[in-house]
Amino acid sequence: MEVQSEHASGEIKHLQRCINDLISLLALPAIWSGGDPSQVLHTLLDALMRMLRLDLISVRLTDLVGEAPVEIVRLSEQRRPMSSAHEICEALSQCFKNDSRKWPPLLRNLMGDGDVSIVALPLGLQGELGIMVVAAEREDFPRQTESLLLDVAANQAVIGLQEARLRSQQKRVADELDRQVAQRAAELATANEKLKKELAERGLVEERLGQEERELKRSEVRKAAIVDSALDCIVTIDHEGCITEFNPAEEDTFGYRRDEVLGKHLADVVIPPSLREKHRRGFARYLATGEARVLGKRIEMTAVRADGSEFPVELAITRIPLEGPPSFTGYLRDITERNRARQELRRSEAFLAEAQHLSRIGSFSWRMVTDEITWSEQLYRIFQIDRDAQVTFELIGTRIHPEDLPAFQEHIERSRRDRSDVQLEFRLQMPDGAVKYVHVAAHIRGDHGQPEYIGAVQDVTERRASEEALGKARSELSQVARVTSLGVLTASIAHEVNQPLSGIITNAGTCLRMLAADPPNVEGARETVRRTIRDGNRAADVISRLRALYGKKEPTIESVDLNEATREVLALSMSELQRNRVIVQQELVDDLPLVAGDRVQLQQVILNLLRNASDAMSTIDDRPRDLLIRTEPDDDGRVRLSVSDVGTGFEPQATDKLFEAFYTTKNEGMGIGLSVSRSIIERHHGRLWAMPNSGPGVTFSFSVPCRAEGLTSDGARASRVPSVSDAA
């Protein structure tokens, strides 16, 4: 989720930038409208230089009617190439004479020793207009979107150049006409005077006129070819708004045939009925006052096709610079796809924002060179910082919990230094004193010049709260379990203590009687006193064992011999087991590795397993109540202890439930024992499980890691096993 969201965020930013660039490129014709080819190229090159951070851009035009080839070379100001612009220009001129596919390597030599990516773009379908060369010293150049931008730029250049050329041709034709008319008038005047004398020359004059007409016609044909092949819709209208030209792209887009619409009002053909009146008013106003609201601008509007369907278009209208009644050219482009992409981008942004809001995840980027930090909207919400604020580490610091601030700052410094992935959890303190827990995950990306951390911040306050509640509940449960165990054990404790006490009292009574006899039986009395002392010690042992089992509160980690721990538990519970007629068989393997853990907690688990086994066999009368307790080394440096009974067992479908708190198969009991036992074992990085025996009964087993593994592989882990009671 985090990785996806930051990837999506970066991708969206990139795409957005690309769309912005595209829009800028598409808006260029409005800027160079009416300019000459050189203006077109300068405008375009400036824009590309800026957008794509190019090191070199060059354009050479080969086919400009009647004009010398235009060549422009731009070099990045940041870059100081080995060769001067002039030299590169010279070299490029050389290149142009050769096969254009061969010269990028030549050029590469001129650019210096850096690794330069060079892209050559033919201008015109066959490169007939010329060639554009761009170069950048970037590894990732050109990216897919940059190639797209370059293609669009090349197309724009072609269209711009063709328009410019068209304009210059039209102008030239008009000039030529004027000149010829004047000349012809003069000639006619002269001819009139010399008509009779120069009758013979008349044929020549007529022939020349014919030649000029053909020239004009050729120009018209060339212009028509350009208009016909343009990708954009091009329509021309006369001063009444009637269509005089309608190119094939327009036919495709609108679904009209050219001959259907020629002479019709543009408004009636392409403008939706609802907008027609407005269009007419604007057109009339322009004709009356010269006030143009749309001329020379790119505007977006709705157009209508022959079948009545409406669609968004981008429209630029220019006035054809000819004398006489005004006429206009309109360039129309279907922007349905562009709008759809824009909408999808907006929707995707909205999705992301909503997802971040719901999941309480905010994303950020941190450019390490400039310390420029960008936040998603949700992150401002998490930090409760005003959306307009400039995010700085200083500002962030004001929200970090004072106790966590030093660690946070150290993490920042470490990230700056190591550039390693970040996984961090810390607390925020809001202005009202409320504390939030946040989890931060970030990783670095970007090229060498612009390393950037991209990451996500999740508000985990609720999760932390529930974890704490869970820990508290578990601790309470374990307390209940202890109390329950104590309650059940009371009889057993009394039994254990009463046995030696009984000996003590009996011996003491006997002693008194022996001493009261006449003569006193001193020897016998001494023997009874000796036994009294021994029984007293036995009682003390019982008490100290019980204290060891139930007295301690804080868990301590020590090396535990599970065999010894098992024997102690058996010693405490043996009489109870015997009363329940359980026959205990021990298979405690010699040289069992020590385990690291809390001895008392592990003994509580063993005791619990023994009692469960005993209880499971309480109704068994047709076979011996055999209980087998076994210890053995397990796989992977673990030690396993298992307790098998021949009792009633459990339903196979109950296996999953066995370890749930309050699940019990017994009539008495709270069903807490196994769930607490499992949590104790899991806190020892072990596991506890149950398996039905092949014969009657069940085997419960647990395995825990040996001490050596715990100490060497993870000292911190072995040094402290959280107790069930310290989670809260």
559 binds another protein (CB under 8 A): no
Helix 599-616 with 673-683: angle, nearest 10 deg = 150
> Judged by CB, which is closer to another protein: 535, or 634?
535
Q: ∠707-713-719 over CA atoms, to 5°?
A: 60
514 binds another protein (CB under 8 A): yes
Sheet holding 298-304, edge to edge: 243-246, 233-237, 328-334, 310-319, 298-304
Pick the closest to residue 28 from 60, 4, 2, 50 (CA basis): 50
Could you tell me the two tokens for 77? 């100001």
507 binds another protein (CB under 8 A): yes
Please state the separation of Cα 512 from the chain's center in Å.
88
What separation in angstroms does the CA of 276 have from each of 251, 317, 318, 332? 20, 16, 19, 17
Could you tell me the two tokens for 59? 């354009």
Amino acid identity, residue 137?
A: E
Using the rule CB under 8 A, give the single segment among 57-65, 190-198, 347-355, 506-514 that binds another protein.
506-514
581 binds another protein (CB under 8 A): yes
> Judged by CB, which is closer to another protein: 169, or 499?
499
264 binds another protein (CB under 8 A): no
Closest approach of another protein to the CB of residue 632, in Å: 27
Asked if residues 106 and 95 have their Cβ atoms less than 8 Å apart, the reply is yes
Among 524, 637, 669, 692, binds another protein (CB under 8 A): 524
Closest approach of another protein to the CB of residue 504, in Å: 7
494 binds another protein (CB under 8 A): yes
626 binds another protein (CB under 8 A): no
Using the rule CB under 8 A, give the single segment among 9-17, 574-582, 608-616, 702-710 that binds another protein.
574-582
Could you give the CA distance from residue 18 to residue 341 in angstroms, rounded to a whole number? 12
500 binds another protein (CB under 8 A): yes
Bond into 519 cis (ω within 30): yes
Amino acid identity, residue 261?
A: V
> Judged by CB, which is closer to another protein: 260, or 527?
527
Closest approach of another protein to the CB of residue 494, in Å: 4
Q: How many CB atoms lie within 10 A of CB 718?
A: 21
586 binds another protein (CB under 8 A): no
- HEC sequence for 59-120: EEECCCCCCCCCEEEEECCCCCCCCCHHHHHHHHHHHHHCCCCCHHHHHHHHCCCCCCEEEE
Closest approach of another protein to the CB of residue 583, in Å: 8
527 binds another protein (CB under 8 A): yes
Contacts (CB under 8 A) with another protein, residues 451-490: 490
Among 302, 578, 585, 719, binds another protein (CB under 8 A): 578
What separation in angstroms does the CA of 84 have from each of 72, 87, 106, 241, 259? 14, 5, 15, 53, 56
DSSP 506-527: HHHHHHHHHHHSSS--HHHHHH
Among 43, 156, 329, 528, binds another protein (CB under 8 A): 528
Among 171, 217, 419, 579, binds another protein (CB under 8 A): 579
561 binds another protein (CB under 8 A): no
Closest approach of another protein to the CB of residue 700, in Å: 23
Q: ∠253-257-263 over CA atoms, to 5°?
A: 110
Using the rule CB under 8 A, give the single segment among 14-22, 276-284, 296-304, 577-585 that binds another protein.
577-585
Among 33, 510, 573, 603, binds another protein (CB under 8 A): 510
Could you give the CA distance from residue 678 to residue 683 in angstroms, rounded to a whole number? 8
571 binds another protein (CB under 8 A): no
Among 65, 209, 505, 571, binds another protein (CB under 8 A): 505
> Judged by CB, which is closer to another protein: 470, or 494?
494
> Judged by CB, which is closer to another protein: 14, or 579?
579
Among 338, 482, 538, 717, binds another protein (CB under 8 A): 538
User: Which spans of this chain sit near another protein (rule: CB under 8 A)?
Assistant: 490-491, 494-496, 498-507, 509-510, 512-514, 517, 524, 527-528, 531, 535, 538, 575, 578-579, 581
